[in-house]
Chain A
Amino acid sequence: EPEVTQTPSHQVTQMGQEVILRCVPISNHLYFYWYRQILGQKVEFLVSFYNNEISEKSEIFDDQFSVERPDGSNFTLKIRSTKLEDSAMYFCASSEASGGPAIYGYTFGSGTRLTVV
């Protein structure tokens, strides 16, 4: 079964540092997403990416965050100047294009646990 792959599985960073979380979506998917889940809380939408641009973003996704699809396979989330409250599990997800998200939902990666110290 096709998978969404995320690296690293766990990253520890010092407050104020920049981190880049990496994802390889399923190859024929065209919608890409980042979500986060703070421990004990609900999964929260950050941003969606389609046709090489951001299509939607939440209030959480401020100037501290950016996304990029640097080549044909990777999808990255950059967090500049990390804060303690950025500690969370970050999930990448992808979905098929033609009606995919609304019909088939998404496939999520196994996540990157970010710990800011």
Chain B
Amino acid sequence: RKEVEQDPGPFNVPEGATVAFNCTYSNSASQSFFWYRQDCRKEPKLLMSVYSSGNEDGRFTAQLNRASQYISLLIRDSKLSDSATYLCVVIKAGTALIFGKGTTLSVSS
């Protein structure tokens, strides 16, 4: 089983749509959770940390379910500029980031 699994997509949505991405992780001892965004051939950029209580940053909402080892990202009112690959990332021990392969989002007008 892969350490971090994501639906690769692509998700093709119109502007204004709401889209949700899911992620599962295999190691129950994982400590920290993040969503990163990666544009084509660019570096990953931190989108948001994910907390057990759930957290929101503008149009983005992240949820963590430790019992199910499941992380989600909800994007409301999608913009063209949201088109990117969204990477689910965990830290299981130490400080090394373990990346999923990413989910590709394409927002069209």
Q: Is B100 a contact partner of A91 (Cβ separation < 8 A)?
A: no
Q: For residue A51, which residues in chain B have a CB less than 8 angstroms away from its CB?
A: none
Q: For residue A89, which residues in chain B have a CB less than 8 angstroms away from its CB?
A: 41
Count how many chain B residues have C-beta atoms less than 8 Å from C-beta atoms of the other chain: 24
Count how many chain A residues have C-beta atoms less than 8 Å from C-beta atoms of the other chain: 27
A42 with B102, Cβ < 8 A, contacts A102-B31, A105-B49, A106-B46 known: yes
Q: For residue A42, which residues in chain B have a CB less than 8 angstroms away from its CB?
A: 87, 99-102
Q: Which residue of B lies closest to A109 (CB)?
A: B43
A102 with B32, Cβ < 8 A, contacts A110-B42, A111-B43 known: yes
What's the minimum C-beta distance from A65 to chain B, rounded to whole angstroms? 15
**Cα of A59 to Cα of B45 in the assembled complex, Å:** 25
Q: Which residue of B lies closest to A102 (CB)?
A: B32
Q: Is A108 a contact partner of B44 (Cβ separation < 8 A)?
A: yes
Q: Is A106 a contact partner of B97 (Cβ separation < 8 A)?
A: yes
What's the minimum C-beta distance from B76 to chain A, rounded to whole angstroms? 22
Q: For residue B67, which residues in chain A have a CB less than 8 angstroms away from its CB?
A: none
What's the minimum C-beta distance from B102 to chain A, rounded to whole angstroms? 7
What's the minimum C-beta distance from B66 to chain A, rounded to whole angstroms? 15
Interface 9-mer from B16-24, B54-62, B88-96: B88-96
B95 touches which of A35, A102, A107, A111 (Cβ 8 Å): A102
- Interface membership of B36, Cβ < 8 A: yes
Q: Is A101 a contact partner of B101 (Cβ separation < 8 A)?
A: no
- Interface membership of B74, Cβ < 8 A: no
Interface residue ranges, B against A (CB under 8 Å): 31-32, 34, 36, 38, 41-46, 49, 87, 89, 91, 94-102
Interface residue ranges, A against B (CB under 8 Å): 31, 33, 35, 41-45, 48, 50, 55-56, 58, 89, 91, 95, 101-111
